[in-house]
Amino acid sequence: MPASTLDQLTSLCKRRGFIFPGSEIYGGLANTWDYGPLGVEVKNRLKQLWWKSFVTKRADMVGMDSSILMNPKVWQASGHVQSFTDPLVDCRKCKERFRGDKLLEEKLGIEAAAVLKVSQIGPMLKAEKIACPACDAHDWTEAKQFNMMFKTHQGVVEDDATLVYLRPETAQGIFVNFRNVLNTMRPRLPFGIAQIGKAFRNEITPGNFTFRTREFEQMEIEYFVEPGKDADAFEEWKELVWEWFSSLGIPEKSLRFREHERDELAFYSKRTIDIEYRFPWGWGELFGLASRTDHDLSCHQKLSGEDLTFTDPDTPEKKFLPYTIEPSFGCDRTILTLLLEAYTDEELPNGEVRTVMKLDPRIAPIDVAILPLSKKEHLVEKARDLHRTLVKETSLSIDFDITGSIGKRYRRQDEIGTPKCITVDFGTLGEDDKQGSKDTVTIRDRDSLKQERVTIAELVRALTVV
């Protein structure tokens, strides 16, 4: 069973070094979170897994890593300067600010709220008698559009000429390098460009732990196809991504597709589908798939004056702007989902409850833990020998823990999701037949709790091939 409340997970994440509140010693900075020693391992592993699945293993994909700061014309061409906005309403009584569409969404359902015009939001809040979540008043301002891009200045002078934005998505870094990728990689259609990186949005109402933050990481793909082949490519990506999330252990009953209504779509978009996950507070977007036509390339071509057309190598007279399918993953939301799914409170036969993070072993921060049964020097030395061997022979991440009773150490490893614990005892030393024969150790499985006695040689062989 996944964590039923976010509080349980937030507390475990802090206690065990997955995710800390940001700037904590200075009283924090609202809705910022820092990945700790174990969290950064999970994050790196997820990103590697994603990169392997969608870039390394595919002949039709390449990767890149573009700058966060880009020429502001990029955001004019993409439409972000004019319309990357959310409808902001103020409570006149307590002065708190909210996203008007989200307040209505809770009452009316997401489909109904998403299609509202900004001018309709204020009157609807009144008509639906929606109270301020902070102070319960019914005194809303009219909604106004609020641009979510963070602004800063490049260089020493702070004026309009030096204004730059922190990118609100990684996608535009791909489009502006389209010509460079064509020239250097000579790809044939269909092909895709992938990128992982930070994005920044001055969200009006961040919250729900790492679900909605103002600084987050995206894993995005722009997949280019010949116009007319976009509908099929869309279907393929839809299935592929669903399978990818399922392969990470997210049960299908906790996932759903949500197709955007016609009037919800951006004017250039032919089709958009989100994959939503059932978070403890309700369904929320985990991933978005958009069919963007040639909108982005055509806008950049127009404003930059650069030729961004693709030339078919087999028929060089055929020049056109490819259509784009955009699979866009939230890295932090995926991690949050996987942590929620992994969190399990389990009653043991002796009536005790253990908390265990049933993480997919591919993203668990530690692969194996070596636990000497006692702190006796020669026993610890034997365990250290095994640790040195495994570090040398494998590429696993290995913990070595001698602090506290064996029970406490097992509980800690369960809480951080370590799939296998290896116990070195007096049997291993050849000093106690009852514990096991010489040069054997016990392997404990995190999920089944099954304990198996194996020789060190067998263990090293098994872990070397992992």
Question: Residues in the site for ligand ATP, rule: CB under 6 A?
Answer: 169, 201, 203, 212-213, 216, 218, 285-288, 328, 330, 332-333
Query: What is the smallest separation between the CB atom of 203 and ligand ATP, expressed in angstroms?
Result: 5
Nearer to ligand ATP, 328 or 418 (CB): 328
- Of 286 and 366, nearer to ligand ATP (C-beta) is 286
Closest CA to 45 of 370, 411, 396: 396
CB of 199 to ligand ATP, least distance (A): 7
Alpha helices per DSSP H over 6-86: 6-15, 37-51, 73-77, 80-83
CB 366 → ligand ATP: shortest distance, Å? Answer: 26
Residue 206 beta carbon to ligand ATP: minimum distance, rounded to whole angstroms: 6
Residue 336 CB partners (closer than 8 Å, separation 6+) = 209, 210, 211, 279
Residue nearest to ligand ATP (CB): 330
Least gap, CB of 420 to ligand ATP (angstroms)? 31
Nearest-approach distance from CB 219 to ligand ATP, in angstroms: 9
Q: Which is nearer to ligand ATP, 187 or 330 (CB)?
A: 330
CA distance 225 to 61: 12
DSSP letters spanning 168-226: S-SHHHHHTTHHHHHHHH---SSEEEEEEEEEE---SS-BTTTTB-SEEEEEEEEEEE-
Cβ distance to ligand ATP smaller for residue 18 or 410: 18
Q: What Cα–Cα distance (Å) separates residue 348 from each residue in 5, 281, 359, 413?
A: 21, 28, 19, 16
Residue 363, token pair as written in the block: 């993203």
Spell out the residues 6+ positions from residue 349 whose beta carbon is closer than 8 angstroms to its own.
none
Least distance to ligand ATP from the beta carbon of 172, Å?
A: 12
Q: Which two tokens stand for residue 262?
A: 């016609």
Cα 90 to chain centroid, rounded: 31
Nearest to ligand ATP of 201, 444 (CB atom): 201
Question: In this structure, how many other beta carbons lie within 10 angstroms of the beta carbon of residue 447?
Answer: 12
Tell me whether residue 294 or residue 332 sits nearer to ligand ATP (CB atom).
332
- Minimum CB distance to ligand ATP smaller for 292 or for 382: 292
| C-alpha dihedral, 157 to 160 to 161 to 165, nearest 10° | 90
